[in-house]
Structure formats: C-alpha cells, structure tokens
C-alpha cells in the first residue's frame, strides 16, 4: 500500500534524525518541563493548588463550557456535513468555504466581534439587556458562544470527505425499503460515520477545553467566576504562583495526552475500516 | 402490477436526459432498457422508482398516478449496480432491513422476520452465508443478497439498475439465467437497465432501445434484431461492417469491389452505404459473378464453434471487416498466408444517403 521507502543513505538518516530532534526540543521537552515544574516543590503543593477554590471553579467552568459546546457542534457539524454532501443546491461550495471561517480567523478577532455585537454596547446585546435583562458577555453564555464559534468546523470537516466518498446509494436503498429520513440516518448513515464522528468530537473537545484567545476577550477575567483553566494559568503566572500555573497547565497537558491517545486509536479504527472497504472493492 | 410511463421529460441543467418518453409494461413482464451510456435509461429507472422527479409527465402503477408519491410509499424493489448493501449489517440483517422499517402495527414479530429472511436467502441460494458481512462476499453473492433484500417486502415492481454490470463475464451469464428463472417463479413486473446487448436479448420479454433520451424501438428481442426500426438500433445491436460506395441502379461499386444488387428501385443512384453483419457473409477463394469483394486475412480468433476473422479490403475503401464463420467452413477454406479471399455477403442492410434504413438486399 505505502509507496514510501526506508531511508538508506546517510543524508536521509540525517534528515530523519533532525526531524526527531526538532520534535523533542519543540514539542516533547516543554511538556516534560510542565510536569517537572508542577512537582518542583513536592506533591503536597500540587494537591494544595488542585484543591484551591480558584482551581476547582476553573475546572468546573471548563467542563461546563465543553459539555455545552461539544453536543452543539456535534449536531451542527452533522447537519452541515449532511447538507453539503447530500443535497445539490446553489451556494453549496460557498457554504463549505464559509465553514472554515473560524479556522482562518484569529480567535481574538472572533472574541472582539462577539463583544461588539452581543456586548452591553452592542446591537444585539443592548436590545437583550433592555428587553430581557440578559447579559451575554463577561458571563458563561458569551464564553460558550465564542467557544462554539471557534470549534464549529471540526466535526463537519472530518465528516464531509468521508460522506462524500461513501455516496448516497445506501441511504437511497434504505428509503426504497421504506425507511423514513430519520430512520435512514439513524440505521444507515450514523453507523457508517460513527468513528469519524467520534474523532471530530475528540478534536472539538480538545479545542474547546484549551481555547484561550476568544474566551479571554469575552470572559472579562473575573476571578472565581469567568476563569477557565487556560485563563487561570495566565492569571496564576502573572501572580508569580509558578506551581499553581504549572499544575493547571499539567492538567491541560494531561487532557491533551488523553486526547492524543483517543485520536490515535480512532484514526487507527477508521483507517482499518477504510482498508477493509478498499479490499472489498478489489 | 402494470407500469405506464407517460410523456416523461427530465433535464439536468439544460441538458435533456429524457425527452417525452412513453412506455407500457404489462403485469408480470421482464423488460430490458438497453442503450449506450448517456441514453437516459438509468434516469428513467430512477424516475419510475421515485428517486428522481420528472419535469413533466406521469408514472402510473396499475393506472394509478404515482408521480408525486413518495419513494418509500411506492413499494418498489430496487437493485443497484454497486449493490448498495449496508456494510455494517450482516447478510441476514440486510435482508431483514425492510421488514424492520415497517410501522409498528405491520411489523412482523422476531420469529416471523427470521423465517422470512431464511426463506429469501434460500431463494437466492445464500442461506449458508446469513451471518457474513458484505465485505466477505464476492460480487455475485452480494448482488444476490441485494436481490433478496429488494424482494423482502414482496414488491409488485422490481427495478434493476445494471444489475450485473460490475461482475465478470462468467458470473454475469450465470446470474442472468438465474434472474430469468427467478422471474418465472415469482412473476413480478420487472424493468432492468443494461448497456449489454447480449444481456438484454437473453433476459427480456421486451427490449426498449434508447438513445440520447429517446426511445428508438420497443419490441421482442427477435423483432428489434431482425426488424430494427432505425439505423441506431441496427448499429447498436451487435457488430456491423459499413461498406461505402456508389450505386448506379444495378451495381454497387467501391474501388475494385463490385456487388450486383437489385433494390427494385428503392435506392436512388449515388452514394449508398451497406451494413453487413459478421455472420451474414462467407468467404471463398474465387469471386462469383454477382460479388467481387477481394480481401486479405489480417487476424483470426477461434472461440467456441465460431471463427472470427478480421479482413482487410484489397483495392477498395472500407475499414477492417469482421466476419464470423463456423469452424468447418473455416477448416475447408484453409487459405494460405497471403491469399486473396472473396467476401460473399448473403444479406445486406442498405442505408440511404439521408441516413435512414433502406430495404434489406441480397446480391444476385
């Protein structure tokens, strides 16, 4: 299957070694440092920091944001992928390009845009405040909104190529056999995309948990209220609480490692599925 | 159930895939839609199934208008060229799918479903493979599972889109015999799409020859072959050799080639093309008085009882000619390497200069 060769000349080996060195220095070393720094003054300090009110509040807030963001983008991503791959309409290409806006745009800019539109002085924000006494910005709703914005392409981007390659025949077959649109989705489409979907969810979750830029703009950085883990890290670092900052960072780092593991497993599952599908075609 | 298609038109972005198609399929018949790719045959099948909406015209089942009826309520069995089996379900679950999708009130119980699945898998001779997944089956086996799945809800209409197109020659032949046999057993009104002339001829009660969104001819396999309604039909059904030349009312000529033809005045003097089917001619070592068509042997292939010869015209203009002889005739002829041979057509189809079919003629 693979057309790659083993490196066999000295300069090829040098290239491989250089790649490894770069990965270690740039990626692995900082991760190791995080844990080393966190435990620099003993495990007791780590536990103290982990059980502090600020830390627990930040963990809770981070989890809540992720718990809302992931399902929203799961549904949104599936719907979007369905529209783009299952219907032929004017503006389909445009739609699939628009999905990428959050990828292309700096999260800070996204945060500012939301602040302008939904903030107290903003068009929508002012109206909501006057009519319903609802404040979106500098509170949980705003933080969820920008996180949803920043992470919304992941599920759709994973699903679209897969659903395109799978085609629509199996769904047509289901409907010809009397299935409703919902049944066709539930019994035919979903089982075929489940691994890719999980992969998209893992990516969305990782990004939602780690999001800093956009959230920092709309959170207002209110200690004990609107600090998520990434925001807390910055705050602790500015307070010269190194152990605290690195403990929080270690927590995020551990989440990242778990995510990486899940992603690898899911990728492996999906590619073995694809291989199986290819084998049947030949 | 009878199927009637009435004045169907379908365009895709300005291109007319189907133009005013009308067709009648009586109850219990097996009809083949035959045509080259792009002739609109698959589109027509999908419109009958309800997978596409026509721009104009009606589809009637038993004289009931179903044009606007939703796909899932038309209750047609449909078989896809690429099988479209649910790859995450076993063979048995694939076949049971339609039964499980029935509304709660009509849905048979677990045991009834199992019994029905077994019965269907026996019908398609796949009962030993009930627990396998589609990926573990060969193409022919997949297509039989797809058929069993399509038959699970006892449809009164069965539609097959190039059902054997993705299979190798031997399996294809076996499966189409089997389909013919199955059709005699269960007598469901069936329409299948194919681009393979042999397949259409062997399987169908009626053949519908299509080209560029039109129906060229509807008739029994024998009729469309022996009495083609248009040049396209003649062209499309089997290989033909086109001989181009000039006619003077008695003799057709092209370079050194001559044929004496009596067309009883049906063909005007001037350019005249003759179509020759490979099996409607023989070869001799000497010309005869009414036919002088010198050729040289270019290649031959022996397969079964016939010998297919490729012949190069000597001293007259025509492409390489294909002629089929039976083995004995070929053995008796036994020509030398560079011998000049003479083609003796038994029957020819005239094509007039405006492109229509003229009368069939025999040199005399």
Phi, psi of A239 (to 5 degrees): -85, 5
The architecture of the domain spanning A53-281 is: Orthogonal Bundle (1.10)
Q: pLDDT at position A275, please?
A: 62
**Residue whose C-alpha is closest to residue B101's, from B46, B152, B50:** B152
What sign has the CA pseudo-torsion A88, A94, A100, A102? negative
- Bridge partners (DSSP) of residue B340 are B296
pLDDT digits over A217-274, tens only? 999 888 888 899 999 999 999 999 888 899 999 999 898 888 889 888 888 877 776 5
B341, containing H or E segment: strand B340-345
Query: Would you call A176 and B97 a contact, using CB atoms and an 8 Å cutoff?
Result: no
Residues of B in contact with A192 (CB under 8 A): 87-88
* Closest CB from B76, B82, B150 relative to A169: B82
Judge contact between A9 and A17, C-beta under 8 A.
Answer: no
End-to-end CA distance of chain B: 51
Distance of CA B267 to the CA centre of its chain: 31
Average pLDDT, chain B: 90
Sorted by sequence, the CB contacts under 8 Å of residue A99 that are 6+ apart come out as: A80, A152, A153, A156, A157
Q: How far apart are CA B124 and CA B142, in angstroms?
A: 11
Residue burial B304-343, b: 16+ Cβ < 10 Å; e: rest: eebbbbebebeebebeebbbbbeeeebeebeeeeeeebbb
Query: Would you call A175 and B80 a contact, using CB atoms and an 8 Å cutoff?
Result: no
Query: Would you call B72 and A276 a contact, using CB atoms and an 8 Å cutoff?
Result: no
Residues of A in contact with B97 (CB under 8 A): 174, 177, 179, 187
Q: How far apart are CA B18 and CA B43, in angstroms?
A: 8
Q: How far apart are CA A264 and CA A269, in angstroms?
A: 9
Q: Where are the domains of chain A?
A: 53-281
Q: Which residue is listed with tokens 């200690």?
A: A223
Smallest CA–CA distance, residue A44 to chain B, in Å, is 51
Average pLDDT, chain A: 88
Grouping H, G, I as helix, E, B as strand and the rest as coil, residue A192 is helix
Residue A282 confidence (pLDDT) above 90? no
The DSSP-derived string for A124-165 is HHHHHHHHH----TTSHHHHHHHHHHHHTHHHHHHHHHHHHH
Q: How far apart are CA B360 and CA B227, in angstroms?
A: 10
Q: In this structure, what DSSP letter does residue B217 have? A: E
Smallest CA–CA distance, residue B276 to chain A, in Å, is 40
The answer to whether domain B3-227 has CATH 3.40.50.300 is yes
Q: How many CA atoms lie within 13 A of A225 on its CB side?
A: 11
- Bridge partners (DSSP) of residue B282 are B344
**Fold agreement between B3-227 and B241-361:** no
Query: Would you call B75 and A178 a contact, using CB atoms and an 8 Å cutoff?
Result: yes
Q: In this structure, what DSSP letter does residue A5 have? A: P
Q: How far apart are CA B225 and CA B232, in angstroms?
A: 12
| Residues constituting chain A | 282
- CA B142 → CA A273, B82, B125, B148, B203, distances in Å? 19, 9, 12, 10, 20
Residues of B in contact with A277 (CB under 8 A): 87, 135
Q: In this structure, what DSSP letter does residue B155 have? A: -
What CATH homologous superfamily does B241-361 map to?
Answer: Nucleic acid-binding proteins (2.40.50.140)
Query: Would you call B87 and A180 a contact, using CB atoms and an 8 Å cutoff?
Result: no
Q: Where are the domains of chain B?
A: 3-227, 241-361
Q: How far apart are CA A209 and CA A59, in angstroms?
A: 10
Query: Would you call B76 and A276 a contact, using CB atoms and an 8 Å cutoff?
Result: no
Mean pLDDT over B321-325 rounds to 91
The ipTM is 0.82
Chain B CA closest to residue A276 = B135
Residue predicted with more confidence, B67 or B187: B67
Which residue of B52, B88, B159 to mutate against A (max A Cβ within 10 Å)? B88
Query: Would you call B97 and A169 a contact, using CB atoms and an 8 Å cutoff?
Result: no
Residue A1 confidence (pLDDT) above 50? no
A24, containing H or E segment: none
Residue B345 confidence (pLDDT) above 80? yes
Q: pLDDT at position A123, please?
A: 81
Residues of B in contact with A173 (CB under 8 A): 78, 80, 84-86, 149
The model's pTM: 0.81
Q: How many CB pairs under 8 A join A and B?
A: 63
Query: Would you call B97 and A177 a contact, using CB atoms and an 8 Å cutoff?
Result: yes
* Tokens representing residue B199 in the block: 């397949």
Query: Would you call A176 and B72 a contact, using CB atoms and an 8 Å cutoff?
Result: yes
- CA B102 → CA A103, B139, B154, B326, distances in Å? 44, 28, 13, 57
Residue A279 confidence (pLDDT) above 60? no
Percent of chain A as helix, strand, coil, to the nearest 5: 80, 0, 20
- CA A78 → CA A66, A94, A106, A207, B318, distances in Å? 18, 18, 24, 18, 60
Residue burial B240-254, b: 16+ Cβ < 10 Å; e: rest: bbebebebeeeebeb
pLDDT digits over B205-223, tens only? 999 999 999 999 999 999 9
pLDDT digits over A16-66, tens only? 999 999 999 998 998 899 989 888 888 888 898 889 999 999 999 999 999
pLDDT digits over B31-52, tens only? 999 999 889 999 999 999 999 9
């Amino acid at each position: 299957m693979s057309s790659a060769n083993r490196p066999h000349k000295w300069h090829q080996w040098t290239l491989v070694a250089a790649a490894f060195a770069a990965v270690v220095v740039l990626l692995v070393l900082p991760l190791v440092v995080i844990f080393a720094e966190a435990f620099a003054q003993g495990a007791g300090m780590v536990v103290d920091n982990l059980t502090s009110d600020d830390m627990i509040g930040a963990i809770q807030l981070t989890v809540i944001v992720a718990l809302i963001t992931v399902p929203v983008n799961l549904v949104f991503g599936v719907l979007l992928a369905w529209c783009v791959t299952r219907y032929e309409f004017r503006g389909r290409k445009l739609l699939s390009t628009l999905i990428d806006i959050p990828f292309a745009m700096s999260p800070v800019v996204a945060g500012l845009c939301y602040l302008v539109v939904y903030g107290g002085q903003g068009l929508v924000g002012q109206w909501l405040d006057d009519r319903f006494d609802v404040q979106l910005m500098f509170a949980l709703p705003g933080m969820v909104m920008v996180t949803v914005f920043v992470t919304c392409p992941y599920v759709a981007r994973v699903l679209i190529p897969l659903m395109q390659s799978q085609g629509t025949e199996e769904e047509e077959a289901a409907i010809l056999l009397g299935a409703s649109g919902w049944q066709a989705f539930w019994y035919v489409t979903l089982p075929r995309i489940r691994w890719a979907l999980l992969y998209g969810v893992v990516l969305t979750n990782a990004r939602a948990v780690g999001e800093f830029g956009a959230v920092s703009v709309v959170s207002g950085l209110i200690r004990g209220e609107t600090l998520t883990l990434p925001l807390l890290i910055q705050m602790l670092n500015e307070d010269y609480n190194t152990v605290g900052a690195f403990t929080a960072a270690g927590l995020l780092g551990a989440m990242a490692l778990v995510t990486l593991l899940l992603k690898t497993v899911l990728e492996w599952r999906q590619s073995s599925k694809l291989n199986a599908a290819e084998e049947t075609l030949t | 159930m009878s199927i009637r298609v009435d004045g169907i038109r379908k365009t895709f972005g300005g291109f007319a895939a189907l133009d005013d198609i009308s067709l009648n399929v009586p109850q219990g018949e097996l009809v083949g839609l035959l045509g080259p790719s792009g002739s609109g045959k698959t589109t027509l099948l999908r419109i009958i199934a309800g997978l596409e909406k026509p721009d104009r015209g009606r589809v009637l089942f038993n004289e009931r208008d179903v044009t606007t009826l939703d796909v899932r309520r038309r209750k047609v069995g449909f078989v896809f060229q690429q099988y479209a089996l649910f790859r995450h379900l076993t063979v048995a679950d694939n076949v049971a799918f339609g039964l499980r999708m029935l509304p709660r009130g009509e849905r048979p119980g677990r045991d009834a479903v199992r019994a029905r699945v077994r019965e269907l898998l026996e019908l398609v001779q796949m009962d030993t493979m009930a627990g396998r997944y589609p990926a573990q089956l060969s193409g022919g086996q997949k297509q039989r599972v797809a058929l069993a799945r399509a038959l699970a809800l006892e449809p009164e209409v069965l539609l097959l889109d190039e059902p054997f197109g993705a299979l190798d020659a031997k399996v294809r032949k076996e499966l189409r015999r089997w389909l013919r046999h199955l059709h005699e057993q269960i007598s469901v009104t069936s329409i299948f799409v194919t681009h393979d002339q042999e397949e259409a001829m062997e399987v169908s009660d009626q053949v519908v020859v299509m080209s560029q969104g039109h129906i060229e001819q509807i008739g029994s396999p024998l009729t469309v072959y022996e009495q083609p309604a248009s040049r396209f039909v003649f062209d499309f059904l089997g290989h033909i050799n086109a001989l181009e030349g000039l006619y003077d009312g008695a003799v057709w000529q092209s370079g050194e080639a001559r044929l004496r033809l009596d067309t009883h005045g049906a063909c005007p003097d001037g350019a005249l093309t003759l179509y020759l089917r490979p099996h409607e001619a023989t070869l001799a070592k000497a010309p005869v008085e009414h036919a002088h068509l010198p050729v040289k042997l270019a290649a031959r292939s022996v397969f079964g009882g016939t010998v297919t010869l490729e012949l190069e015209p000597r001293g007259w203009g025509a492409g390489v000619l294909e002629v089929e002889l039976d083995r004995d005739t070929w053995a008796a002829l036994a020509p030398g390497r560079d011998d000049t041979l003479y083609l003796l057509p038994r029957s020819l189809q005239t094509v007039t200069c405006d492109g229509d079919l003229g009368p069939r003629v025999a040199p005399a």
